[in-house]
Amino acid sequence: MSKTPYQFLLIGMPGRGKTMAFRNMNSETTGFINMESKPLPFINKFKHYSTPNNWQECYQKLIEYAKDSTIEVIILDSFSAYVDSLLKTARDTKKGFDIWNYYNEEIGKLQYLIKKYPKHLVVTGHYEWVETEEGAVEKRMAIKGREWKGMLEKDYTIVHYADMVVKEGKREYSITLNGDGKSSAKTPPMFLNEGEEKITNDYDLFIVRVNDKLNK
């Protein structure tokens, strides 16, 4: 287990292999929060596994897993489902501007928790095209509302994109490590091999690489 916790964001549209990337994570020391409430695309052997009914339960599960000494890495799948649940609560309980005030406040609380999280935390989500302050259009983490649009990645140390291409009739899944001016992907150079732009769609391998580097 690393003494330096990192925040990882794995972004991609449905069918790009985001959840499948966790198939080889350690089933004993990984806490998997399935906010999507969909069956996993592989045999679920996770000892610490939950399917929260709403965003409040998900938030509490993040705190619970943070305190559990047997858990080393937590996966939240997905941020997109979390904010959908939050927005439903806001619309059900608030009116007018209070809907978005409540929504933005709770997003802020989640982002603060993520930034201060004491263990490796991997969060998945979908992307949207956003115009940056420089006028460029980039893929960024998708979120409803204006306040957080294009701003979520700042609280993550590492941002990756799950990709899929079809070659000769076969699907090839990969993870993009750095941006090319069209996405918010970023990886500290110390975790990259020379000339490396993509890795195979297996996040356990990358977590092991990060821990090996940090624990030297």
Q: Give the tens place of pLDDT for each residue, 115-124.
A: 999 999 999 9
Task: State both tokens at 41.
Answer: 């695309």
Question: Distance between CA atoms of 205 and 102, rounded to whole angstroms?
Answer: 39
pLDDT > 60? residue 2: no
Please tell me the predicted confidence (pLDDT) of residue 145: 85
Mean pLDDT computed over 71-75: 97
* Residue 156 near residue 123 (C-beta atoms within 8 A): yes
Please tell me the predicted confidence (pLDDT) of residue 116: 93
Q: What percent of the chain has pLDDT over 90?
A: 73
Q: Give the domains, in start order, of the chain with CATH numbers.
A: 7-214 (3.40.50)
pLDDT > 90? residue 169: no
Question: Distance between CA atoms of 178 and 215, rounded to whole angstroms?
Answer: 23
pLDDT > 90? residue 215: no
pLDDT > 70? residue 81: yes
Higher pLDDT, 25 or 184: 25
Higher pLDDT, 81 or 194: 81
Q: What is the mean pLDDT of the chain?
A: 92
Q: Which amino acid is residue 101, in one-letter code?
A: N
- pLDDT one-digit tens code per residue, 30-53: 999 999 999 999 999 999 999 999
Give the CA distances from residue 66 to residues 69, 78, 89, 182, in Å, rounded to whole numbers and listed in that order. 8, 17, 25, 34
DSSP assignment string, 90-148: HHHH--THHHHHHHHHHHHHHHHHHHT-SSEEEEEE-EEEEE-TTS-EEEEE--SSSTT
* Residue 9 near residue 156 (C-beta atoms within 8 A): yes
Tell me the β-bridge partners of 162. Answer: 175
CA angle 90, 94, 96 (to 5 degrees): 105
- pLDDT one-digit tens code per residue, 101-112: 999 999 999 999
Q: Kindly report the pTM of this predicted structure.
A: 0.93
Task: State both tokens at 11.
Answer: 């972004």
Mean pLDDT computed over 153-175: 90
